[in-house]
Amino acid sequence: MRVALLCILLTSLAFADAKMLFVNCKTCHGKYAEKPKGTKTAPANLTEDQIVYALTKYRDSFQTASGNSKIMATNVRRFTDQDIAEIAVYIKQVQAERQAEIEALAAEQMKALE
């Protein structure tokens, strides 16, 4: 039991930093990273590896195809590799939580119809 609680605590602490870093991202990409800005793909629809790749390229100023590349480069220029990895995991975690909420709501609605 104590080990499980410790794991939960450590996981929540790891996501605390990513959550704080993601605050600025919400302005353009939404609470769940579901909104694309300047591209056809929302961050939530990317894999963790694709998110890491894109953010790293923006940070290192190699990503210039998007009209918002300067905005992205400015926002991620201080991110470390660890920050980028944590944000990628956080985005996928938020998506999993969102999906669970949607499924729970759908189950409630189906039960109400019975």
Residue 56 located in a structural domain: yes
Is residue 6 assigned to a domain?
no
pLDDT at position 13, please?
44
Residue 4, pLDDT score = 46
Range of weakest confidence among 10-19, 50-59, 67-76, 97-106: 10-19
Q: What is the CATH number of the domain that holds 88?
A: 1.10.760.10
- Does residue 4 lie in a domain region? no
> Is 30 domain-assigned?
yes
2 in a structural domain: no
Task: Say how far apart CA 12 and CA 77 lie, in whole Å.
Answer: 25
Domain assignment of residue 31, yes or no: yes
Residue type, 62: F
pLDDT in tens, 22-61: 888 888 888 888 888 766 788 988 999 999 999 998 888 7
Q: Is residue 9 part of a domain?
A: no
Residue given tokens 């190699």 in the structure block: 62
Number of folded domains in the chain?
1
CA–CA dist 23, 77 (Å, integer): 15
What value, to the nearest 5°, has the Cα angle with vertex 103 and ends 54 and 95? 15
Please report whether residue 74 resides in a domain: yes
**What is the pTM (predicted TM-score) of this model?**
0.74
Give the structural domain span for 54: 17-113
